[in-house]
Structure 1
Amino acid sequence: MARSELHSRRVEAVRAWTSFVERGDGAERLVRPEILSSWARSEAAISPDVTQAPLADEGETAEIWRGSPLQTAVQRVEAELRRTAEDGDLVVAVTDADTRILWTYGGRVMRRKAETVNFVPGGRWDDQSVGTNALDLANRLATPAMVFSAEHYAPIVHNWVCWAAPVHDPVSGRKLGVIDLSTTWDRTHPIGLATARVMAALIETAMPRSSHHPTFGGSDDHDEPGLVMTLLGTVETRLDGQRLLLNRRQTEVLALLAMHPEGLSLEHLHALVYGDQAVTLSTLKAEVSHLRAALGGQLSSRPYRLMMPVHTDVDHVLSLLRGGHVGAAVEAYGGDLLPGTNSPALGELADYVAVALREALLADPQPDAVVRYIELAPYDTEVIEVCLAALGNRPHPAVPLLKGRLAVARA
């Protein structure tokens, strides 16, 4: 961006912040909904005059870091993280799931700036501790986030721009924390958010194998904060561990919002839900209003967007497949996505997941995974035949089961 354009953008951000802090209104037309929501949370918890982030206990922070799979992953890619920080004069930070910084590295200039505001290990950067920032938004919304200049609630970082992306266990899908890249506002670059995404993916690929264990669908998920949706086979939605009673259409709307963390306009959401059906926009608005009430108001408008962490078994299965964990993906796959849905978008997604799983098995026909798969797709003889061919004459407990199912399917 040209410096003049950046300066104008900064002036607009300061004007919006001033309107909110001094008058309490007028900012809703000037900033993004997620920024406004975070400002409201920040205002209720802290003074804008905060001078630095609070620090957690140093020993406790060090212990959490030592026991985290993030430590191993960061050590494996530390050279790349340091190079990124030095080349762009950035400060790079990795947090835990509570937005407490566990590790940082900074270029010469940004390192000093970071230290003055406790952007260091132990610093608590949730928005109720230090105000609106990208680390908190990425962690809270489970999607990459950018906060520019006075979009931060605390003036101590009005001279910063920050890009952050969540980091998940690539198998279980469990959120581990976020990675953040920060520099001065005048060094804003369109590639910043994409770089944060790449760095998050780099850390995820470097996770120790011992941390890879599927948990989605287990009893622990009932305690998972935020929204947890089971859409494959059995359908269930829980918010902060409590089951939500939703009708089918509301579940479809919520699923589409979960699949589009960037948000959807009313018209786009209508097309995804109803296709060319003759259903009014008012009908969809009524469904969204019910969902907003059920979610405690954590659904913004213009665009419609979920304002909380979201976990779905669909994302979990696709993440497993991307990581090459075919057996775990089959185990996590409960069946067709929302069977019988007449939403064109969800129908396409259902086909995509089913075909992706099948193709992964054809490429890597693990016998135990195929046995599990044919419980869900008993007449998919090609997968059975490919698996038997791969086994050849080797003995395996799955062979009689596969041959029996093949005989039944051909009868």
Structure 2
Amino acid sequence: MLADDDLRRRRAVLEGEWSRWVPAMRAGSGPLPDAGALSTEVGESWARSLVCVDPGTGSAPATRDGPVHERWARSPLRRPLEDLSDALRGIADDAGFVTAVTDASGTILWTCGGRAMRRRAERVNFAPGGRWDESAMGTNALSLALRTGRPSTVFSAEHLVSALHGWVCYCAPVRAPDGRMLGVLDMSTTWDRSHPLAMSTVRSLVSAVETRLRAEPPAPSGDTAAVRLTGLGAEEASYGGRPLPLRPRQLEILTLLALEPDGFTSEGLRDALYGGRLVSVSTLKAEISHLRRVLGGGIAPRRYALTVPVACDAVALLRALERGDTADALRLYRGPLLPRSEAPGIVAWRTRTTVAVRQAVLASARPEHALSYGARAPYDAEVHEHALRLLDPADARRALAAGRLSSALD
């Protein structure tokens, strides 16, 4: 896309302002920029940043606060962002943006975007692990949003670091239900793709993330730590907020116990795990013993059942469907239950949950339900046809549903 004349003029003016003020301020011989093309907020940020940031630096420094994938796994933003990942990737790919999410310190935890844009972003370490707070990378949209607590846009040479003058960045803070800032969501692209609606998109996405944060179950109170189990399209478990080091078989056991609160006899659990295979009682007991150790007890000794509070996404999904809340069920449904498992009991629950969600979608009169489920079921032609029936002829989303249907029928 070619930039229009207004964008070119604005970029040229800002480059002039940068060349006029930054070298003088860096040398200590220039005051803060006066009123003009440059905002007071950006000028003040330049002055603060020049104390510790070289405007000629080539890329953002890497965090030293531990592996970024572990920080992302613990982040309260991870689950809401995973819910919205299809929408984020679609927007980034269609509009030529790269999208990033930081924590409250300004360290990028997650990004998405087309391959070409991500490669370009990685050259300046606009990637997981990169630090983008003001003290690390000077004036940029992320650092301003973190400092002010307000949405921010930084265009071309408003960035202190000259390596970023080819970019425009839009971002907004993401807040927890109690008002704490958890990080920022940023959408960035080349300056010639600057668009007045980009900030509206960022605000809408942040609003969607914050809505999901409010819907998250409250953390357990007191001294009793809860088991949190994510099995729909994933295989994760935590206890007291810390990841549990479980083998696949142990995760299957934990999932079955969460879905069957009345528990199992030894024979019943063995059948649910192994079917007709000849497996010794001692093998099952060894798996249970390991689970008891990591849960600090947590499993009744005679009839196997959980004795600690458990938050399981598959259980929450079925409860949502029982109360007729298809939207909440789709929020929880990220894919089939423990997708790699072949345990008969898990396979049965996998079928039950998938069929239940699908039937709720087909019974719904809301096209967004079919579109959301369709993103997880690309070969389900009936769901894509249902979406097309529900969508208004002028709705731009019909193209998405029609494309999916065409692929499913090929």
Normalized against structure 1, the TM-score is what? 0.50
**Greater C-alpha Rg:** 2
Q: Larger relative CO (CA 8 A, sep 6+): 1 or 2?
A: 1
